[in-house]
């Protein structure tokens, strides 16, 4: 009996011990997994900017500012610079895309101060894979001082018709201590002529600008003539001076040169027509582009190189506008039309414009006319 009791007791004890051992074993993988997760979480990049702001102090207008910002990775995983986005007036020349743990990379920024005056702050925004600092900002500071400047502005603007000439002036002054002088002027083409003279009369000086008693110059720009290119003007006149801080000053020449007149359409196609069709009569409109004195433009004569196309001229409803009528002659034979109409004008640059003309006279058009007779 005692043996049986002992066996029962031992079985009961084994039953109680087994779950405890199993529970202890089942917790071990979880603990290991938790430890592994903790170690993985610790691996991360860390962005550290050595000097987030670079202050250049006072610089001469036109000076080029270049600076390489140092970026450190103080984490234990690769730091990725996903983007380096410059603000207005700033460009990013280059940047290191991956920075290994414990190493240093660079972001190089460039600022051209030609178009700035006074205090400037030009930012570069970084986007990184650092979860604690996904974005960061670098900034270039400076005070831009114009040692040479123009009054009232550093540009001249012209709205011209081709062949016309216009003149504008600016005054050039300086903040330099040495007597200011213009040494040379470089122009973009023969259609721009520049003259300058030192201002001797105090009343003609630009007021309240530049160093007192410093030389000022009147600079005159003459633009236009037959050599002026059609379309928008976007060139620079470069003025070379003796300024030690800002030896070159650029004046922007802006605006537009338009043709004296325009022709609509510039080519004409009758298509397939019979002389009796309404489409056998077509018009070409010649418009003057002169908004001030449109009446000075005239269409004087029209000639057709196509025997079976007749022409006529009459003034348009507005001054400087003319309507040129082209008519397929009633006795035209079937066949193709190909040639041109020449329109003679009073324009000195482009006195004659040629309008290509095409079309086809329907077969049977003449026969139909004969039958009707």
Question: For residue 121, how many other CB atoms are within 10 A of its CB?
Answer: 13
pLDDT tens-place string over residues 314-336: 999 999 999 999 999 998 889 99
- The answer to whether 364 and 276 are in contact (CB under 8 A) is no
Is residue 62 a part of any domain in this protein? yes
Average pLDDT of span 238-243: 97
- pLDDT given for residue 228 in this prediction: 84
Q: Which of 25-39, 206-220, 261-275 has the lowest mean pLDDT?
A: 25-39
Q: How many domains does the chain have?
A: 3
- In this predicted structure, the answer to whether residue 14 has a pLDDT above a threshold of 50 is yes
- Cα–Cα distance, 196 to 239 (Å, whole number): 10
- Residue 113 phi/psi, 5-degree rounding, is -90, 10
- In this predicted structure, the answer to whether residue 241 has a pLDDT above a threshold of 80 is yes
**214: Cα separation from own chain's centroid:** 37
- pLDDT given for residue 93 in this prediction: 87
Average pLDDT of span 169-194: 95
Residues 89 and 168 placed together within one structural domain of the fold = no
| Residue that has been written with the tokens 């009796």 in this structure | 276
Residues 134 and 152 placed together within one structural domain of the fold = no
Question: For residue 152, how many other CB atoms are within 10 A of its CB?
Answer: 9
- Cα–Cα distance, 352 to 340 (Å, whole number): 12
Residues 188 and 288 placed together within one structural domain of the fold = no
- pLDDT given for residue 359 in this prediction: 94
- pLDDT given for residue 368 in this prediction: 42
pTM for the whole thing?
Answer: 0.68
Picking from 258, 293, 325, the residue at the C-terminal end of a domain is 258
Residues 268 and 329 placed together within one structural domain of the fold = yes
Q: Which of 39-43, 113-117, 153-157 has the lowest mean pLDDT?
A: 39-43
Residues 173 and 138 placed together within one structural domain of the fold = no
CB burial of residue 129 (10 Å; 0-12, 13-18, 19+) = middle
Question: What is the CATH classification number for the domain harbouring 80?
Answer: 2.60.40.10
- pLDDT given for residue 226 in this prediction: 81
Which residues 6+ apart lie within 8 Å of 51 measured at CB?
69, 70
The number of C-alpha atoms within 13 Å of 62 and in the hemisphere containing its C-beta is: 17
- In this predicted structure, the answer to whether residue 188 has a pLDDT above a threshold of 70 is yes
Residues 237 and 336 placed together within one structural domain of the fold = no
Question: What is the CATH classification number for the domain harbouring 189?
Answer: 2.60.40.1510
- In this predicted structure, the answer to whether residue 165 has a pLDDT above a threshold of 70 is yes
- The answer to whether 220 and 183 are in contact (CB under 8 A) is no
Average pLDDT of span 205-224: 95
Q: Which of 131-135, 208-212, 239-243, 367-371 has the lowest mean pLDDT?
A: 367-371
- In this predicted structure, the answer to whether residue 37 has a pLDDT above a threshold of 60 is no
Confidence band for 23, pLDDT divided at 50, 70 and 90: very low
Residues 155 and 251 placed together within one structural domain of the fold = yes
Picking from 145, 179, 214, the residue at the C-terminal end of a domain is 145
Is residue 179 a part of any domain in this protein? yes
Residues 311 and 367 placed together within one structural domain of the fold = yes
- pLDDT given for residue 9 in this prediction: 56
- pLDDT given for residue 22 in this prediction: 44
Is residue 196 a part of any domain in this protein? yes
What are the tokens at 197? 């003279």
Is residue 41 a part of any domain in this protein? no
Of 170 and 62, which is predicted with more confidence?
Answer: 170
- Cα–Cα distance, 138 to 54 (Å, whole number): 8
- Cα–Cα distance, 210 to 216 (Å, whole number): 9
Residues 289 and 253 placed together within one structural domain of the fold = no
- In this predicted structure, the answer to whether residue 85 has a pLDDT above a threshold of 60 is yes
Is residue 23 a part of any domain in this protein? no
Cis peptide before 220 (omega within 30 of 0): no
CB burial of residue 243 (10 Å; 0-12, 13-18, 19+) = buried
Is residue 237 a part of any domain in this protein? yes
- The answer to whether 353 and 264 are in contact (CB under 8 A) is no
Helix or strand (DSSP H, E) at 111: strand 104-112
Residues counted in the chain: 373
Average pLDDT of span 124-150: 95
Is residue 24 a part of any domain in this protein? no
* Domain coverage including residue 71: 47-145
pLDDT tens-place string over residues 262-304: 999 999 999 999 998 999 999 999 999 998 899 999 999 999 9
- Cα–Cα distance, 97 to 105 (Å, whole number): 8
- In this predicted structure, the answer to whether residue 118 has a pLDDT above a threshold of 90 is yes
Of 165 and 35, which is predicted with more confidence?
Answer: 165
Residues 237 and 280 placed together within one structural domain of the fold = no
Residues 213 and 266 placed together within one structural domain of the fold = no
Q: Is 327 helix (H, G, I), strand (E, B) or coil?
A: strand
Which residues 6+ apart lie within 8 Å of 201 measured at CB?
none
* Full strand arrangement of the beta sheet holding 165-174: 148-151, 165-174, 217-224, 192-198
- pLDDT given for residue 40 in this prediction: 53
Residues 236 and 301 placed together within one structural domain of the fold = no
Picking from 114, 145, 176, the residue at the C-terminal end of a domain is 145
- In this predicted structure, the answer to whether residue 358 has a pLDDT above a threshold of 80 is yes
Confidence band for 115, pLDDT divided at 50, 70 and 90: confident
């Amino acid at each position: 009996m005692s043996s049986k009791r002992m066996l029962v007791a031992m079985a009961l004890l084994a039953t109680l011990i087994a779950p405890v051992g199993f529970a202890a074993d089942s917790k071990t993988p979880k603990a290991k997994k938790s430890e592994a997760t903790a170690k993985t979480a610790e691996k991360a990049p860390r962005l550290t900017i050595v000097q987030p702001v670079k202050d250049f102090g006072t610089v001469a207008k036109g000076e080029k500012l270049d600076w390489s910002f140092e970026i450190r990775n103080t984490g234990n995983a690769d730091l990725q610079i996903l983007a380096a986005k410059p603000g207005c007036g700033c460009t990013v020349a280059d940047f290191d895309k991956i920075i290994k743990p414990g190493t240093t990379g660079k972001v190089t920024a460039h600022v051209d101060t030609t178009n700035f005056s006074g205090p400037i702050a030009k930012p570069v925004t970084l986007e990184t894979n650092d979860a604690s600092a996904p974005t960061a900002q670098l900034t270039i500071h400076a005070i831009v001082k114009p040692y040479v400047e123009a009054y009232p502005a550093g540009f001249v603007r012209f709205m011209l018709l081709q062949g016309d000439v216009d003149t504008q002036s600016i005054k050039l002054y300086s903040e330099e201590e040495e007597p200011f002088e213009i040494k040379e002027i470089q122009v973009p083409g023969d259609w721009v002529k520049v003259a300058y003279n030192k201002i001797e009369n105090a009343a003609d000086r630009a007021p309240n600008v530049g160093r007192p008693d410093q030389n000022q110059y009147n600079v005159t720009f003459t633009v236009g003539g037959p050599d002026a290119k059609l379309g928008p003007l976007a060139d620079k006149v470069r003025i070379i001076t003796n300024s030690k801080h800002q030896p070159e000053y650029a004046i922007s020449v802006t605006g537009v040169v338009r043709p004296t007149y325009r022709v609509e359409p510039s080519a004409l196609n009758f298509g397939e027509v019979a002389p009796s069709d309404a489409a056998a009569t077509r018009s070409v409109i010649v418009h003057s582009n002169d908004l001030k004195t449109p009446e000075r433009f005239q269409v004087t004569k029209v000639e057709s190189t196509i025997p079976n196309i007749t022409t006529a001229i009459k003034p348009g409803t507005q001054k400087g506008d003319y309507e040129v009528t082209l008519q397929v002659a009633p006795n035209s034979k079937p066949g193709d039309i190909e040639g041109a109409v020449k329109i003679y004008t009073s324009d000195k640059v482009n006195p004659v414009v040629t309008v290509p003309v095409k079309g086809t006279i329907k077969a049977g058009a003449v026969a139909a006319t004969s039958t009707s007779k």
